[in-house]
Every structure is written in C-alpha cells, then in structure tokens.
C-alpha cells in the first residue's frame, strides 16, 4: 500500500519517510510517523471515526512530537498548558484498512515551556493494523516474528506501506504496545544487506513501548529470500541489536522472519 504522512514543523518540511505505524485497538486509534532525521510525530484518538478531534490540556485526544536523534530530552505534547490543535479524520476504508486525514497543532515542552508549531499535516491512505484482542483476526497470510532477548515475539497484526520508494513492514503485538519494524527499498532483490538506521536504506526499529524507540546501528543483517514485485509478496529473515541513540540498554533481536504482502 502507498501511504503519505507529512507536515510542516516550525517552517521545515517533515515526512514520515522512515517509519509509519497505525493501530486500532480497544483503547483507541494511534498513528505515529518517524522521519529519517529522527523526528517523530504521534497522535492518539479515542476512536477511529470520521470527524474532527480537538486537542488541548483536557482532551482525551493527544499528540506528541520529539526527536530521537537530536535533543532527545525535548518532548512536546498537546496535553499541557496552552498547547492544542486538532486532528481531522476524513475517510476510513475498513475493508483495506486505510485511513486519511489532516492535523495541525502547537505543542509545548512542559520542562521549559518552549513550543513547536506543526501545520499542514496530512496522512493519506495510511494502512492501519487492528489489535486482535479487540476481536478482529489478522491476515493469516502475513507474519513477522523474532526472538527479543531470547523471548519469542509473534505479531498479532502485520502492517505494510510504501512511501517515497521505501517499503515499511511492521509487526505489532496483541496489546499494541510492542512492535518490530523494518525499512527497505520496495524493489529490493534477493540477497543479504547490512542494516543501519543512519543510511535510511536498510534498517530495523524496535519499540518495546510507546515511549521508547531502539534502532539498528551498523549491527544488523537483512536477508531477502524472495521479492515478487508483481504479486507484491516479500519473504526474508533479519537480526539486529536494537540500541538507543543516546543512553539505555540495547536489545538483541534474532531469528527474525517475515512473509508479507504489500
């Protein structure tokens, strides 16, 4: 699927050209995008319905923006002080699991009251997964699994999207809190590739929870067994050490396997 997810952040164009993850669960609808420069925008809505959602210090809907590479301690949110804005969901394709809409908001860092202005935000035809604990079964034909520090991770839902020639594949846990994602060129050929987020070409991302992002940094291997660009079906294996960019504990991901239609 082709999805667009972009905005203007403090006058500079931002594009979720590194990772896009959206999930509908019994706790609400979340959509998050990560750029190759490390800037991440996330939104959480109480439900997935068309309409306008207001964001402010008292609203259930929230938005967060931070950079996981530069100034990682600065986290801007919509649920503090005079921060606020809105998210508009314009269309939902519940059969193909695609969502479109727009957003704009001013977010505040509660530590120093600094602000960031996000305008002209768009998410168009972005694929979303459905948490199986809410009663919807994932596609039996798609799978992504791995061992995370020796503990088996099996995706309850697999989401794929294509943006600017990059194929994103994400496996999401049943509770929606944990995911493993891979990025690679959509026309990638069979073979073995080194994974490094800094290159923006072949990389892995592991989110153990909604507030932590760990990346492959010159330490991973992606092997494509086959990529049928006509039938749009890709199969491969992967392993990498998911590490924080600044400080924290790395996680070893091994025995990764995926078979996904896109």
Domain boundary among 92, 109, 127: 127
Do 148 and 232 share a domain, yes or no? Answer: yes
Do 99 and 141 share a domain, yes or no? Answer: no
Q: 218: which DSSP letter? A: S
Model pLDDT for residues 172-225, shown as the tens digit of each residue: 887 777 899 999 999 999 999 999 988 889 999 998 887 788 999 888 999 999
Do 36 and 16 share a domain, yes or no? Answer: yes
Do 215 and 145 share a domain, yes or no? Answer: yes
Model pLDDT for residues 130-167, shown as the tens digit of each residue: 764 443 344 457 899 999 999 999 998 888 888 778 89
Question: In the prediction, which pLDDT does 134 show?
Answer: 42
Do 153 and 107 share a domain, yes or no? Answer: no
Do 13 and 45 share a domain, yes or no? Answer: yes
Do 157 and 47 share a domain, yes or no? Answer: no
Q: Is 192 exposed, middle or buried (0-12, 13-18, 19+ CB in 10 A)?
A: exposed
CA-nearest of 101, 82, 103, 106 to 90 is 101
Do 122 and 202 share a domain, yes or no? Answer: no
Place of tokens 């905005």: 7
Q: Is 105 exposed, middle or buried (0-12, 13-18, 19+ CB in 10 A)?
A: buried
| Residue 153, phi then psi, degrees to nearest 5 | -115, 120
Do 119 and 200 share a domain, yes or no? Answer: no
**Residue 254 belongs to what domain range?**
132-261
Do 92 and 180 share a domain, yes or no? Answer: no
Model pLDDT for residues 72-105, shown as the tens digit of each residue: 678 899 988 899 999 999 999 988 889 999 999 9
Do 85 and 195 share a domain, yes or no? Answer: no
Domain boundary among 108, 127, 146: 127
Strands (E), 2-93: 4-9, 12-15, 19-25, 28-34, 39-45, 51-55, 62-67, 75-77, 84-93
């Amino acid at each position: 699927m082709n999805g667009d997810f972009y905005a203007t952040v403090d006058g500079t164009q931002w594009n979720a050209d590194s990772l896009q993850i959206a999930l509908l669960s019994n706790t609400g609808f979340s959509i998050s995008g990560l750029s190759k420069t490390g800037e991440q925008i996330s939104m959480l809505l109480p439900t997935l319905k068309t309409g306008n959602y207001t964001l402010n210090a008292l609203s259930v809907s929230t938005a967060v923006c931070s950079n996981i590479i530069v100034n990682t301690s600065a986290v801007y949110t919509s649920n503090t002080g005079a921060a606020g804005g809105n998210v508009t969901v314009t269309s939902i394709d519940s059969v193909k699991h695609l969502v479109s809409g727009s957003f704009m908001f001013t977010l505040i860092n509660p530590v120093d009251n600094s602000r960031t202005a996000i305008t002209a935000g768009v998410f168009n035809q972005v694929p979303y997964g459905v948490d199986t604990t809410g009663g919807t079964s994932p596609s039996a034909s798609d799978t992504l699994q791995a061992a995370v520090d020796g503990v088996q991770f099996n995706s309850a839902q697999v989401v794929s999207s294509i943006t600017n020639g990059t194929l994103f594949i994400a496996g999401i846990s049943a509770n929606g809190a944990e995911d493993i994602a891979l990025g690679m060129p959509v026309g990638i050929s069979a073979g073995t590739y080194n994974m490094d987020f800094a290159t923006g070409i072949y990389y892995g991302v592991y989110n153990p929870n909604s507030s932590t992002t760990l990346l492959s940094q010159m330490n991973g291997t992606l092997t494509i067994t086959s990529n049928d660009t006509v039938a749009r079906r890709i199969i491969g294996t992967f392993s990498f050490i998911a590490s924080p960019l600044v400080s924290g504990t790395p996680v070893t991901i091994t025995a990764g396997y995926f078979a996904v239609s896109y």
